[in-house]
């Protein structure tokens, strides 16, 4: 049994998908969380000076999606064959496309400008991506509630996590997307996920 | 016998890595290239109204990274096991981080502004990404010239393709990055790649 150590900030951000995958798999791991002021002292230990980093039996792996996909494959949450795994990747990439538009709303300092770009994101930008995600779910989901092949994969966990960020900014953003709402409800109902969500630290991001 | 169709514009862009993978694997496929005027009538045939799209045994898959990784997995160019595949993914994500900083600059309409932004990109942004990539190559490359495990993987093909855009900004850039220079030369020397590079259509980007 390999030993797993995940190092990230004390927040959900780009690390939470991996934590969700560990939880869904019932897999123990060392969950190292640095506060923002602790990180500079450890930056040089990271291959790219960034987090998250996964350490497996002492070998370090950077890049959040590479980490999440690796863990999903190890724990059979990635899709049943190469093509299903590709469908999962396509869903993940589509969620990723939606998040690119959200990032400016995080970093904008001017409160008036921030409110403006937030409004534009939720009115004009996000709905297109949510529509695309529903399309993929219906195309690949075999009539079920999960994105690919009628079983939970890391695509569902990935969407679950980033949608939480959107919902915290705009509570109604999924109201026109019942398939996506149902998908998130199915994720939350998984016993190991429900347990994890109940117990995980409440963080700012 | 599986059938592969790739739909994209008649450019390299986000479709070329898939074409390089097919070439390296010596795998036949239908290389469908739409001119911009043709594309309009085909947009609704694509799951997300975008290209590239791979059609595998009649089922469509969007998202260039998902397509590339699937093809690499099919043709054993993805890494020898889950962890090597994760290292390949990490290199690919790091290349993406680099090019995502450049794409907005390419979109800039104002010529003077574009020139200024390009200058800043070359001086301030690009070096750390190239250093990161050399770092990963030395960490994962088992002492060889390929990024991961002493074998050609799609990480090498992806870097080869993206580097061509960087070379258009500064043809001497890799003189300061000998490992990356050698990596590209090793890719070009692969017989099937050399043949493909000689024969492929010459396009603007």
Residues A36, A70, single domain; the answer is: yes
Which structural domain range is residue A139 located in?
82-189
Structure confidence at residue B1 (pLDDT) = 84
Residues A178, A151, single domain; the answer is: yes
Token pair recorded at residue A81: 């064959």
Query: Is residue A21 in some structural domain?
Result: yes
Residues A109, A184, single domain; the answer is: yes
The CA distance from A158 to A92, in Å, is 7
Structure confidence at residue B105 (pLDDT) = 92
* Regions in chain A scoring below 70 on pLDDT: none
The CA distance from A67 to B125, in Å, is 25
Give A13-24 pLDDT, tens digit per residue. 999 999 999 999
Q: How far does the CA of residue A179 sit from the closest CA of chain B (Å)?
A: 17
CATH number of the domain that residue A38 is part of = 3.40.30.10
Burial class (CB in 10 A: 0-12, 13-18, 19+), A45: exposed
Q: What is the 3-state secondary structure (H, E, C) of chain B?
A: CCCEEEEEECCCCCCHHHHHHHHHHCCCCEEEEECHHHHCCCHHHCCCCCCCEEEECCEEEECHHHHHHHHHHHCCCCCCCHHHHHHHHHHHHHHHHHHHHHHHHHHCCCHHHHHHHHHHHHHHHHHHHHHHHHHHHHHHCCCCCCCECCECCHHHHHHHHHHHHHHHHCCCHHHHCHHHHHHHHHHHHCHHHHHHHHHCCCCCC
Residues A53, A14, single domain; the answer is: yes
pTM for the full model? 0.97
Query: Is residue A205 in some structural domain?
Result: no
Query: Is residue A107 in some structural domain?
Result: yes
Query: Is residue A113 in some structural domain?
Result: yes
8 Å CB contact of A47 and B136: yes
8 Å CB contact of A61 and B83: yes
Residues A105, A14, single domain; the answer is: no
Query: Residue A94: which of B56, B63, B73 has the nearest Cβ?
Result: B63
| Residues of chain B contacting residue A58, judged by C-beta atoms under 8 Å apart | none
Query: Is residue A108 in some structural domain?
Result: yes
Residues A62, A96, single domain; the answer is: no
| Domains of chain B from N-terminus onward | 4-76 (3.40.30.10), 82-189 (1.20.1050.10)
| Residues of chain A contacting residue B73, judged by C-beta atoms under 8 Å apart | 82, 85-86
Q: How far does the CA of residue A39 sit from the closest CA of chain B (Å)?
A: 19
Structure confidence at residue B24 (pLDDT) = 98
Which are the contacts of A53, defined by CB distance < 8 A and separation ≥ 6?
A: A6, A7, A8, A46, A47, A60, A61, A62, A67
Give B151-183 pLDDT, tens digit per residue. 999 999 999 999 999 999 999 999 999 999 999
Return the number of other C-beta atoms located less than 10 Å from residue B22's C-beta.
20
Give the residue on B whose Cα is nearest the Cα of A85.
B70
The CA distance from B53 to B34, in Å, is 12
CATH number of the domain that residue A125 is part of = 1.20.1050.10
Structure confidence at residue A98 (pLDDT) = 97
Residues A108, A40, single domain; the answer is: no
Structure confidence at residue B44 (pLDDT) = 97
Query: Is residue A162 in some structural domain?
Result: yes
Structure confidence at residue A204 (pLDDT) = 87
Residues A69, A95, single domain; the answer is: no
Structure confidence at residue A28 (pLDDT) = 97
Residues A154, A94, single domain; the answer is: yes
Q: Give the angle A38-A205-A196 at the CA atoms, nearest 5°.
A: 100
Residues A39, A122, single domain; the answer is: no
8 Å CB contact of A65 and B89: yes
Query: Is residue A124 in some structural domain?
Result: yes
Query: Residue A82: which of B63, B74, B82 has the nearest Cβ?
Result: B74
User: What is the total count of domains within chain A?
Assistant: 2
Residue B186 — pLDDT band, cuts 50, 70, 90? very high
Q: How far does the CA of residue B189 sit from the closest CA of chain A (Å)?
A: 28
Residues A93, A131, single domain; the answer is: yes
Report ipTM for this prediction.
Answer: 0.96
Query: Residue B89: which of A48, A66, A83 has the nearest Cβ?
Result: A66
Quickly tell me which residue has 């899709």 as its tokens: A79
State whether residue B145 sits within 8 Å of chain A by CB: no
8 Å CB contact between A70 and B85: yes
8 Å CB contact of A93 and B83: no
Structure confidence at residue A83 (pLDDT) = 98
Residues A112, A134, single domain; the answer is: yes
Query: Residue B61: which of A65, A67, A90 has the nearest Cβ?
Result: A90
Question: In b/e form, how buried is each residue of A138-158, taking b as 16+ CB within 10 angstroms?
Answer: ebbbeeebbbbbebbbbbbbb
């Amino acid at each position: 049994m390999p030993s797993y150590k995940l190092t990230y900030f004390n927040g959900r951000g780009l690390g939470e998908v991996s934590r969700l995958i560990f939880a869904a798999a019932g897999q123990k791991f060392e969950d190292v969380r640095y506060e923002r002021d602790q990180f500079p002292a450890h930056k040089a230990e990271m291959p790219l000076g960034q987090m998250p980093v996964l350490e497996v039996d002492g070998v370090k792996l950077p890049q959040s999606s590479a980490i999440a996909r690796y863990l999903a494959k190890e724990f059979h949450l990635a899709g049943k064959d190469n093509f299903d795994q590709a469908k999962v990747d396509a869903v993940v990439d589509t969620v990723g496309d939606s998040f690119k538009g959200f990032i400016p709303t995080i970093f904008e300092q001017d409160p008036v400008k921030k409110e403006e770009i937030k409004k534009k994101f939720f009115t004009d930008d996000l709905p297109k991506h949510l529509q695309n995600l529903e399309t993929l779910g219906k195309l690949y989901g075999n009539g079920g509630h999960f994105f690919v092949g009628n079983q939970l994969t890391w695509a569902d966990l990935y969407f679950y996590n980033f949608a939480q960020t959107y919902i915290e900014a705009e509570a109604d953003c999924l109201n026109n997307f019942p398939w996506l709402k149902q998908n998130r409800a199915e994720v939350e109902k998984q016993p190991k996920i429900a347990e994890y969500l109940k117990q995980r630290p409440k963080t700012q991001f | 016998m599986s059938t592969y169709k790739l739909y994209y514009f008649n450019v390299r862009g986000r479709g070329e890595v898939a074409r390089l993978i097919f070439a390296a694997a010596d795998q036949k496929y239908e290389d469908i290239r739409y001119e911009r005027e043709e594309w309009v009538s085909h947009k609704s045939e694509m799951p997300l109204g975008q290209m590239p799209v791979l059609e595998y045994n009649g089922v469509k898959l969007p998202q260039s990274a998902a397509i590339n990784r699937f093809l690499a997995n099919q043709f054993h160019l993805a890494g020898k096991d889950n962890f090597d595949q994760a290292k390949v993914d990490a290199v690919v994500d790091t290349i993406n981080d680099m090019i995502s900083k450049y794409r907005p600059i390419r979109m800039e309409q104002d010529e003077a502004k574009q020139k200024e932004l390009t200058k800043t990109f070359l001086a301030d942004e690009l070096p750390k990404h190239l250093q990161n990539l050399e770092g990963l190559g030395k960490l994962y490359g088992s002492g060889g010239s390929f990024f991961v495990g002493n074998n050609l993987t799609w990480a090498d093909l992806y870097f080869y393709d993206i580097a061509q855009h960087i070379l258009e900004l500064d043809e001497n850039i890799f003189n300061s990055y000998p490992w990356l220079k050698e990596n590209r030369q090793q890719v070009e020397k692969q017989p099937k790649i050399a043949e493909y590079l000689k024969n492929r259509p010459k396009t603007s980007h």
